[in-house]
A and B are shown apart, each in its own frame.
Chain A
């Protein structure tokens, strides 16, 4: 044992009841974590499955990366990429990527990002238009080919 000699033992023993509820807690947590991993989804958090990097990516295909582009009043008509970060829009890239169907159905949602941007960055030029762009980076045999396909998924403009 690596513990120093002379340490007092025997102190701090637990009674039967104190042990019983602790065992029950461990069993309960085990059941919840295992059930979450077996059938749970993300919204079971904190018992959701531990699925970081768990999806299989085909070794030939494309890696999708979603971003936003914006226009400002000072430079109308020109789309400029903007960081899709919480500091800028209140939401991050994954939170937008997961909601593409809802955004496509109701592009007005994108206007809330411009409003959040104005609250978070009052000193920056206000966004007058915003669009979600999907970039597909082509991968062949685990190697990016350098080919990038770009597609506009939804667009919003202030009026």
Chain B
């Protein structure tokens, strides 16, 4: 084990895959010479050269479109969209082209493309640099969506994404970049569609991703002091979605809470719950609760932002709503 920051785990994944496969290339805005605005990729340009690591103009449509073209013709591009919010500029290339070209060609085309983006709130970046954008992509068949929450998962999921023959939207939470934790030494691959059990407990299942897993774990610590034991699940990828692990947990807890750093409408929590309703409603003994940011837009003012984004207190309130008797 080595202790690694989340941002360094991302870089290690890129480094390992570029060393392993000369078809892996990497480009984006300020990613080469400057090493990225979040300092995720310094050193790659120096190590792999200007053919394979490139700075681009501020042109999200051209970045994604050209990566698709390169992917179709034999390369494995990894690209960075500086803030996931900016993907809206190039939404056509992601959802109409990358996601559908294989299908529209009757299976002739493969698009082995990894689109790295920084998303998420908590840094007072305001409404256009803080959104959690997973909902924009998980509703599009043909895209895979990965949402690593730890340095080890950032490493293992990114390596899996780069080797995947399909387009992968890889969402890094920008507030986690400095987080440090143990990362396995040697080759570390994390499969898609396999949730992680972060804490065991018998009273309630809390499903979350990324920063909200941390909030859920904090809430679980506090609730444990009064004897309420929470089971916390980190989905790790949203497409494919691991509902089985949630079901297994519900066999024990029979109560479900989802925690999302995103709006109520169109969120993954709604999908998890609908899948449980369809496939395993008998496992539930209580109404389900979704903790989200409702219909809010992320404000600049730090106290306002904190009030909008779910935290451990809101998760604890959600658990109390369930009226668990110890």
State yes or no: do A and B come from one complex: no
Task: Give the interface of B toward A (CB within 8 A).
Answer: none
Residues of A within 8 A of B (CB): none
